[in-house]
Amino acid sequence: MADRSTPWSLGGALRGMFAKATIDDETWEDLEDALIRADFGSTITDEVIEHLRAQVRRFSTTDPVDLKRMLRETLEERLARLNPTLTLSARPAVVLVVGVNGVGKTTTIGKFAKFLTGHGRTVIVGAADTFRAAAVEQLATWAERGGAAIQRPQQHGQDPASVAFQTVERAQREGIDIVLIDTAGRLQTKSGLMDELSKIRRVVEKQTDIAEVLLVLDATTGQNGVAQAEAFIQHAGVTGLVITKLDGSAKGGFVIAVQEKTGIPIKLVGQGEGIGDLTGFTPHVFVQKLVG
Ligand SMILES: Nc1nc2c(ncn2[C@@H]2O[C@H](COP(=O)(O)OP(=O)(O)OP(=O)(O)O)[C@@H](O)[C@H]2O)c(=O)[nH]1
């Protein structure tokens, strides 16, 4: 993760508590407040506190430094229950990128392309959000910055599934390693959107397996954003989450809550508007920055 100040860190909220000589009632109240404010949600907060109280009793410690270490271990253990590794070994590996408008899908595709080309992979982006010409142009700009080729719709409003098909076909013909397909975030109806996604899936699956379906979520919207993305979680066969805009969020606990709530692993994290501001997700590194 980029080395910069993290607004989502619990460091400030926990500082007073860990500066004390011993663990007391106030320590537990402060910890609970800090977790709730960071958007862990009440269930995870209660479970974490209960687990830590039991640990503190078990090891008969009164030292806040021990408590801090236990907090890190507990959060890391919870985050590490799911595997954050991207499965991109197929040739080509096809990745569908889904999510509601405005969460940072286009930007994420550009950053992800850059990340992959930086690791020596060749990438093509498919513009399967075909109804907004401006969206195609914006995607083309990001694809170019990421060092990726782009498959554009041949006419306005072309069937998104046919653009996806042509993108995969071109990757197969030209020996391109990774296909990133941008999809629409908003249609008239949710069922229309889900039908469109299933059609893309059906068409592509005739050509090759789909390697990943990545759902992009905006960290600044917290739990509300998860509710908005519910249809994707239910129907789109999501294999991984991308959390964007973590740099502008004070809700570090959202990262843990969202993974537990959806049961889907976080695979990428965006922390800025620059092309280099996307990294893989490493629970150990994340928790170090979260707890301090
Ligand atoms: N600070 C910050 N801003 C981000 C991040 N990712 C995306 N953004 C910004 O969020 C806004 C929306 O990003 P887009 O990539 O256009 O989002 P989209 O989901 O494709 O939206 P539509 O094009 O409307 O479908 C842009 O202003 C981006 O610069 C991030 O990790 N951090």
Residues 213, 68 share a domain: no
Number of compact structural domains in the chain: 2
Q: What CATH number is given to the structural domain containing 72? A: 1.20.120.140
Domain range enclosing 127: 93-291
Predicted confidence band of residue 4 (pLDDT cuts 50, 70, 90): very low
The answer to whether the CB of 51 falls within 8 A of the CB of 74 is yes
* Tokens linked to 31: 């910890």
Residues 53, 113 share a domain: no
CA of 246 to the centre of ligand 1 (A): 12
CA of 161 to the centre of ligand 1 (A): 24
Residues 165, 231 share a domain: yes
Angstrom distance (rounded) from CA 136 to CA 126: 9
Query: Which 8-state DSSP code applies to residue 154?
Result: S
Q: Return the residue whose CA atom lies nearest to atom 6 of ligand 1.
A: 104
Helices (H) and strands (E) in the chain, counts: 12, 8
> Looking at 79, 111, 131, which one is the last position of a domain?
79
Residues 138, 64 share a domain: no
CA of 275 to the centre of ligand 1 (A): 11
- Phi-psi region at 157: left, alpha or beta (left = phi > 0; alpha = psi -120 to 50): left
CA of 211 to the centre of ligand 1 (A): 24
Residues 199, 55 share a domain: no
The interface pTM score, or ipTM, of the predicted complex is 0.94
CA of 62 to the centre of ligand 1 (A): 45
**Would residue 127 count as lying in a domain?**
yes
**Would residue 87 count as lying in a domain?**
no
Atom of ligand 1 lying closest to residue 278 CA: 31
The answer to whether the CB of 259 falls within 8 A of the CB of 41 is no
CA of 270 to the centre of ligand 1 (A): 10
Q: Return the residue whose CA atom lies nearest to atom 11 of ligand 1.
A: 104
**Would residue 59 count as lying in a domain?**
yes
Residues 145, 197 share a domain: yes
**Would residue 51 count as lying in a domain?**
yes
> Looking at 52, 79, 106, which one is the last position of a domain?
79
Residues 67, 99 share a domain: no
Residues 101, 60 share a domain: no
Residues 151, 261 share a domain: yes
Predicted confidence band of residue 292 (pLDDT cuts 50, 70, 90): confident
Q: Which of 218, 273, 275, 281 to mutate to test the pocket of ligand 1 (most atoms within 8 A of CB)?
A: 273
Tens-place pLDDT, residues 215-254: 999 999 888 888 888 889 988 899 999 999 998 887 889 9
Atom of ligand 1 lying closest to residue 244 CA: 31
The predicted pLDDT at position 135 comes to 87
**Would residue 4 count as lying in a domain?**
no
**Helix H or strand E segment including 97:** strand 93-98
Residues 134, 277 share a domain: yes
Q: Return the residue whose CA atom lies nearest to atom 5 of ligand 1.
A: 245
Q: Return the residue whose CA atom lies nearest to atom 25 of ligand 1.
A: 101
Q: What CATH number is given to the structural domain containing 269? A: 3.40.50.300
Please give all residues whose beta carbon lies within 6 A of any atom in ligand 1, as ranges: 101-107, 135, 185, 244-245, 247-248, 270-273, 277
Residues 46, 191 share a domain: no
Among the listed residues 139, 128, 121, the one whose alpha carbon sits nearest the alpha carbon of residue 175: 121
Peptide bond between residue 265 and the one before it cis (omega within 30 degrees of 0): no
Residue 150's beta-bridge partner residues? 125
> Looking at 34, 51, 79, which one is the last position of a domain?
79
Residues 216, 105 share a domain: yes
Question: Does residue 83 register a pLDDT over 80?
Answer: yes
**Would residue 88 count as lying in a domain?**
no
**Would residue 182 count as lying in a domain?**
yes
Mean pLDDT value of segment 173-198: 88
CA of 184 to the centre of ligand 1 (A): 14
Could you tell me the pTM of the whole model?
0.93
Q: Return the residue whose CA atom lies nearest to atom 17 of ligand 1.
A: 104
Three-class SS state of 265: coil
**Would residue 97 count as lying in a domain?**
yes
